[in-house]
Amino acid sequence: MSTPVSSTTPHAPAPPASAPIGATLNRLVRRLHFYAGVLIAPFLLVAAVTGALYAVAPSAEQVIYRAQLHTDSSGPAKSVAEQVRAAQAARPDLTLNAVWPATDPGDTTRVLFDDPSLGESTRLAVFIDPSTLRSLGELPSYGSAGALPVRTWLDRLHRDLHLGEPGRLYSELAASWLWLVALGGVALWVMQIRKRRRATGSGSLLRGVGGTRGRARTVNRHGVIGVWIAVVLLFISATGLTWSTYAGEHVGDLRSALSWTTPTVDASLTGAPATAGGDHAGHTMPATGSGPTVDAVAGIDGALGIARANGVDGAVEVIPPSDDATAFTVAQRRVPWRASTSSIAVDPSRDAVVDLNRFADWPLAAKLSAWGVELHMGLMFGLLNQLLLLAVMVALSIAIVLGYRSWWQRRARTARVGSAPARGALRDLPVPLSAAILVGAAAVGWFIPLLGWPLLVFLVVDTVAGSVRSRPAS
């Protein structure tokens, strides 16, 4: 006779239900954001402080070097050639490199010379009063933007802390992680506000949650500031990486492969010139390769006239011929409220246009790159651009300090060092998704090494450490 099975016989316990993928990803992002905040935020804070100083450097330069950049003299301006000869008389020992003719009344003309005693990409600028031809001083002028000593010093402080190539790793590390920290913070803030709305019906992404105190208030302010400046931070990260050592090289290779490089003007006098436009139309001769038949300095005013007739006007840089096979180059400089940087090669001895590089004909990617550089440097919209960058850098600094304060407040509440969010999120995700995240980190590591490789190492080590600690003791 068989024994009946009792209905009260206990069943084996059901396996614990796995957390939703969204919640698990939230844990992963939270842990990454925490560690990036603790370990990377110091580099971001240094970049923000130095970036805030550099943001206002172009306007500060106008005040600091007013005696060289501006003049109170009145009267008609002499020809640009006469101004250049005045500068050459002041520095007969140096070779003429380029000229920045005065644009508005009260501006000086900047005559640039090659000076072997100066550093790389630095020329000596002699400032000439257009009316009196008097030299108003000499200063080193750095790069195509013509940064004077104070702006150059702040530029290098922001770029490499005056440590040279090794110092550039700090700024590349900051730029590499900035976008990930910003996006991660925005994602966490969105999820927190959504949770708050479901629970209480209140909360705003841009205004936060009212009535909070203690650590909740600190986190609230940290999140609101982060959301307000997130878009600008992404832009600063993307444009900053183009100047970096490792990621910048990959950006350059990508632009070359996609034909997104910036077009340049051909100043060689080996081919037939185009016909000059405007008032100079119909007065051209075929180029023979023998170069200008007039003195280079004497031809500067003619080169400027042809350039202006063809729309290359305003604030420009004139580069005289380096030899008999080279034409004058006239290129628009980066100045506030002008999006175009067209350039032209001309041969004033024949009243001819050798080559014309119009900004309107550039590929869209090249235009975006040029605009991005100008915005990042605070040049495109002048003081307004600089004040926006200054405000964002100050806001980023405050957000970083608030992040550390929230960590400290957690420590004060628990009477220990603030604990990190729980690990194990990557291990708890489906295997295909975990593998995709690791492969993605490796791919990012190839393009942005100072982000992808540390990220991959963190994910692997964190997952392995979590697995070891969670293994039951035998």
Q: How confident is the model at residue 416 (pLDDT cuts 50, 70, 90)?
A: low
**pLDDT tier at 185 (50, 70, 90 boundaries)?**
very high
Question: What pLDDT is stored for residue 287 in this prediction?
Answer: 40
**CA dihedral (367, 313, 315, 390) positive or negative:** negative
**pLDDT of 69 above 80:** yes
Contacts for 127 with CB less than 8 Å, ≥ 6 apart: 68, 69, 108, 109, 110, 111, 135, 136, 137, 138, 139
| Distance in angstroms (rounded) separating the CA atoms of residues 148 and 183 | 36
Question: What is the pTM assigned to this prediction?
Answer: 0.86
Please state which of the ranges 57-61, 282-286, 300-304 shows the lowest mean pLDDT: 282-286
Please give the torsion angle defined by the CA atoms of residues 397, 402, 404 and 405, in that order, rounded to the nearest 10 degrees.
Answer: 140
The pLDDT of residue 305 is above 50: yes
Residue 255 has a pLDDT of: 85
Residue 106's pLDDT band, with cuts at 50, 70 and 90, is very high
Residue 129 has pLDDT above 50, yes or no: yes
Query: What is the rounded CA–CA span in Å between residue 471 and residue 136?
Result: 76
Token duo for residue 250: 């990959």
> For residues 100 and 333, is the Cβ–Cβ distance under 8 A?
yes
The mean per-residue pLDDT over the stretch 65-78 comes to 94
SS (H, E, C) the chain: CCCCCCCCCCCCCCCCCCCCHHHHHHHHHHHHHHHHHHHCHHHHHHHHHHHHHHHCHHHHHHHHCHHHHECCCCCCCCCHHHHHHHHHHHCCCCEEEEEECCCCCCECEEEEEECCCCCCCEEEEEEECCCCCCEEEEEEEECCCCECHHHHHHHHHHHHCCCCHHHHHHHHHHHHHHHHHHHHHHHHHHHHHHHHHHHHCCCECCCECCCCCHHHHHHHHHHHHHHHHHHHHHHHHHHHHCCCCHHHHHHHHHHHHCCCCCCCCCCECCCCCECCCHHHCCCCCCCCCCCCCCCCCCCHHHHHHHHHHCCCCCCEEEECCCCCCECEEEEECCCCCCCCCCEEEEECCCCEEEEEECHHHCCHHHHHHHHHHHHHCCCCCHHHHHHHHHHHHHHHHHHHHHHHHHHHHHHHHHCCCCCCCCCCHHHHCCHHHHHHHHHHHHHHHHHCHHHHHHHHHHHHHHHHHHHHHHCCCC
Tens digit of each residue's pLDDT (9 = 90 or more) over 421-472: 888 888 888 989 999 999 999 999 999 999 999 999 999 988 887 677 665 5
pLDDT class of 273 with cuts at 50, 70, 90: very low
Q: Please tell me the predicted confidence (pLDDT) of residue 418.
A: 67
pLDDT averaged over the chain? Answer: 87
Q: What is the pLDDT of residue 415?
A: 58
> What pLDDT, in 10s, does the model give residues 343-371?
999 999 889 999 999 999 999 989 999 99
Amino acid 2: pLDDT: 47
For β-strands 122-128 and 135-142, DSSP reports them as: antiparallel
Instruction: Name the band, by pLDDT with cuts 50, 70 and 90, for residue 210.
Output: confident
Taking CA atoms, 258 is separated from 254, 261, 266, 370, in Å, by 6, 8, 21, 16
| Tokens coding 466 | 């979590």
Q: Does the pLDDT value for residue 253 go beyond 80?
A: yes
Q: Which residue has better confidence, 136 or 19?
A: 136
Kindly tell me the burial class for residue 75, based on how many C-beta atoms sit within 10 Å of its own C-beta (0-12, 13-18, 19 or more). Answer: exposed
Q: How confident is the model at residue 177 (pLDDT cuts 50, 70, 90)?
A: very high
Closest alpha carbon to 241 in 309, 180, 150: 180
Crossing angle between the packed helical segments 57-64 and 41-55, to the nearest 10 degrees: 40
Closest by CA to 319, choosing from 122, 111, 145, is 111
